[in-house]
Structure 1
Amino acid sequence: MKKGFLIMIILMVSCYLVFAQECYRNIDSFLMAPGGYDIYGTGSISEDENGQLIVRFDSNFNTAGGPDVHVFLSKTFTAPNDNNPDKLEIGILQNTTGAQSYIVPSNVNIADYSWVLIHCITYDHFWGGGMCGGLIGNCTASGIDNHNPLPPQLLCIKGTVFINNLPDNTSAISVYDILGQRILVQNFNKGSSPSDYGLNLQNHKGIFFLHLKAAGIETTYRFVLN
């Protein structure tokens, strides 16, 4: 009887956390440099489970094309040319539109740079760039302790994702797909968040990101929905 009950539970469970929350910084928007070009979209710089830093532009990224256009990290919103000593080139701009990613050298810490910039090297023409936001998630691997809560427990039954052990004072729950599109959001009034909550994600499958805001701390967890 007990064995049959366990098999039934396993069949009902259709999602699981892939790993503890990663450390990342959002790029909420891009700025055009004086004399530069419009840059639209969002992005992020994140550290994966192996400690590798990756800069990502989301699917809504869009800017003008040009010759010899490169992507840089920088400590300031200054043209990343020879007059800027605090820059690091991370690659040629792969595309003027759409999602793309850039590997950051292993000796760089996620907190070292504040801007992701786009610049034409040949003609020294500064497109613009995006500011990296505050640290979010589990950043202890980088030597940064931002006091993250224990991860929640997820259980999926018939298209509903049940979240157990929500952090105290959770103010918002958001779910994003792999392309960075938000598919669900739930806000809570101050002091009214429950310890457990269910999200209706019927007809959704794949890799998703659960984003929690609680008591001034933001954490993100990646999970798979089968």
Structure 2
Amino acid sequence: MKAKLLLLLFIIGFNLNTKAQCARSASFQDGDYEVSGTVSLIFTSEGDKMLEIASDFLTMNGPDLHVYLANTSQISTASGNPPETIDLGVLNSVTGSSSYVIPSDINIDDFTYVIIQCKLFNAFWGNAILGTTQGSDCSALSIEERVIDTFSFYPNPAAQSINISGNFKETMTLNIYDSLGSLVANNDNINAQNKTVLLSELTSGIYFVEFISNNKKNIKKLIIN
């Protein structure tokens, strides 16, 4: 599996629609190319943070198309990733639905635009202006309090194993998902004495590591060489 795979159809073990949600939605607008369809930034009461492009999405194919969160209607990738943006990775498909994991430290109101950009040739494909938050659960979610951000791992990229670092006050659960959202590894006993996770049974590619502790969670990307 190559590093320029993804973006993913990634559901963390259960359907987002069964959880309390707060969302911002928008319709794509043409840039230099035709883009149509809807997109939503969805946060849930379980701490999941996703960007979901709906099944009505359609654009033309192009090289190195990336999905960005930004606060300006257009960006420049002539010198790499522009500042104050989040590159969610390669556009998974030019038709239909796809989902992208949002970094855990991002708040739902941090960005205004979803941008599709040809990163290689600095070409503006199109964008969507995210609307106001919608959902009866927005005020009650307390999303930041439900996300754990004190754990990480190294090395990354990794080969045979990763070591978990953080403030171990209690045992936590670690799940590893592949790029299609399938659970491929699980350890319910991560603690200060047991913080090495073997990866020898996993093939090269991009994975997502989920930390769960005291009903809080975090998700980080892992590359296995």
TM-score calculated relative to the size of structure 2: 0.51
Give the 5 Å matches for 1:10-49.
18-19=18-19, 21-27=20-26, 29-33=27-31, 36-49=32-45
Q: Does 1:141 align with 2:142?
A: yes
Deviation for aligned residue 1:85: 2.2
| 1:142, distance to aligned residue in structure 2 (A) | 3.5
Return structure 1 stretches of 4+ with deviation > 3 angstroms: none
> Would you say the 8 A contact 1:26–1:133 is kept in 2?
yes
Code of the aligned partner of 1:24: A
Q: How many residues align?
A: 124
Q: Report matched runs for 1:61-72 at 5 Å.
A: 61-72=57-68
How far residue 31 of structure 1 moved from its aligned partner, in angstroms, is 1.6
Q: Is the 8 A contact 1:51 1:141 kept in 2?
A: no
Aligned residue number for residue 188 of structure 1? none
2:119 & 2:55 partners in 1: Cα distance? 25
Query: Measured at CA, do residues 127 and 18 of structure 1 come closer, stay the same or move farther in structure 2, by a change above 3 Å?
Result: closer
In 2, Cα distance between equivalents of 1:56 and 1:126:
20
CA distance in 1, matches of 2:18, 2:53: 22
Give 1:49 deviation, angstroms.
Answer: 2.8
Q: How far off its partner does 1:110 sit?
A: 0.9
For 1:99, give the aligned amino acid.
S
User: What are the Cα deviations for residues 4-25 of structure 1, in whole angstroms up to 9, with x where unaligned?
Assistant: xxxxxxxxxxxxx944x31111
| 3-state secondary structure, aligned to 2:124 | strand
Q: Specify the code of the residue in structure 1 equivalent to 2:121.
A: Y
Residues 149-185 of structure 1: per-residue CA shift (max 9 Å, x gap): xxxxxxxxxxxxxxxxxxxxxxxxxxxxxxxxxxxxx
Alpha carbons 1:42, 1:60 under 8 Å: kept: yes
Q: Secondary structure at the match of 1:106?
A: coil
Give the TM-score normalised by structure 1. 0.51
Query: In the alignment, does 2:108 pair up with 1:110?
Result: yes
2:134 aligns to what SS in structure 1? coil
What is the percent sequence identity of the aligned residues? Answer: 33
- Measure, in 2, the Cα distance between the counterparts of 1:18 and 1:60: 22
Residues 77-114 of structure 1: CA deviation (Å, up to 9, x unaligned): 01252484221100100000001111111111111001
Q: Does 1:125 align with 2:123?
A: yes
> What letter matches 2:119 in structure 1?
I
Q: Give the structure 2 partner of residue 93 of structure 1.
A: 91
Letter of the structure 2 residue corresponding to residue 107 of structure 1: D
Q: Is the 8 A contact 1:110 1:142 kept in 2?
A: no
**Cα-to-partner distance string for 1:48-78 (whole Å, 9 max, x where unaligned):** 2321210011110000111111000001101
One-letter amino acid matched to 1:93 = L
Partner of 1:185: none
TM-fit CA distance, 1:136:
1.0
Q: Which runs of 5 or more residues in structure 2 are unaligned?
A: 1-16, 145-225
Q: Distance in 2 between matches of 1:54 and 1:60?
A: 18
- Distance in 2 (CA, whole Å) between partners of 1:18 and 1:127 is 33
DSSP 3-state at the match of 1:46: strand
Change (3 A) 1:55 1:69: same
Unaligned runs of 5+ in 1: 1-16, 144-226
Query: Match for residue 78 of structure 1?
Result: 74
Would the aligned equivalents of 1:61 and 1:99 in 2 still touch at CA under 8 Å?
A: yes
